[in-house]
Chain A
Amino acid sequence: MSYPTDFRYTKEHEWIKSDGKSATIGITNHAQESLGDIVFVELPKVGTELAAGKTFGSVESVKAVSDLYAPASGAVTEVNAELATAPEKINKDAHTAWMVKIVLKNPGELNSLLSAADYEKFVAEEGGH
């Protein structure tokens, strides 16, 4: 699975796709792979202010609970309601199964995130083998 080059990535394994004003957020293919079967997603309500680096929800596989970290700050404008009843969509295609959309508070925040190439390198190093 390749990582889209027009996304930015966090070391906590979220992706963000932005047009400079608003952005879409999800978790990476690597994240879904290491979680295994995803059975529950908890997302914020529309209007919630996300703060970069802070948790905004959680995702649970059969075995584990993981926090979701906001790649950037901003107010939630849309939530992917489909994931409440079909969380397995994230396993099927993590890069299209988006979680929330936000209006960016500070688009400059994205500059500090990883590029696709850097993220792939990071994942390879984190795996250690």
Chain B
Amino acid sequence: MKILVLLSQVPDTTARIAFTNGNTQFDANGVTFIVNPYDEWYALVRALELKEAAGAGSVTTITVGGADTEATIRKGLAIGADEAVRVDAQPTEALQVAEQVAAYAKDKGFDLIIAGKETIDHNGGQVGGMVAELLDLPYIALASKLDVAAGKATIERDVPGGVEVLEASLPLVLSAAKGMAEQRIPNMRGIMAARTKPLTVVPAAATDNVAATTSFELPPAKGAVKMIPAEDAGKLIELLHSEAKVI
């Protein structure tokens, strides 16, 4: 089984969110960057588990980004990916990233391509579906469970009010949500091995230029919380009705 995992670099989940250059750029000053948690905890770890269960195959990660993403990419190798690819382009928006990934993946014969359900910075959840369309493959978004047997994948996904169990033949593109696997902490052997595993830099392909984020805004500061004494708790319901007018 040959698996490709999409790996993005994002600011740490607890990073201070601020902008610079007239609110046109994320302020990376003092921010730690990590592997997007959905890519790392769910997509990559499940890919490794499937490879281990099959006793054969390979797991490749692909990242669209500059040389500054290589430390993050090595983390994926330390967790257990066999090799990593970096497409040498600054990511600008979803279709551009998807076109870079599709350009790399199209002749490689991957059985599974797995992305995280979204990145925690842009929250679009678009790249997996776009890659699937560009490669003419089926795509299942928000998979919380994935099993593969005899060339067929069985997938569970949470839907409003329940769980849907789906079946599709490989090759297939998926986006991974919580439940698919448990986070793996790289051990010392993995970290040492990651230093010598192949990290191939491929040149950027030509892509379409269809959209761009032009500016950012921070939400207005929240007003002070109105405290209600515990013995008078029922007043909350009255206030939500008569003052906030939401119930």
Q: Do the two chains belong together in a single complex?
A: no
Give B residues with C-beta under 8 Å from A.
none
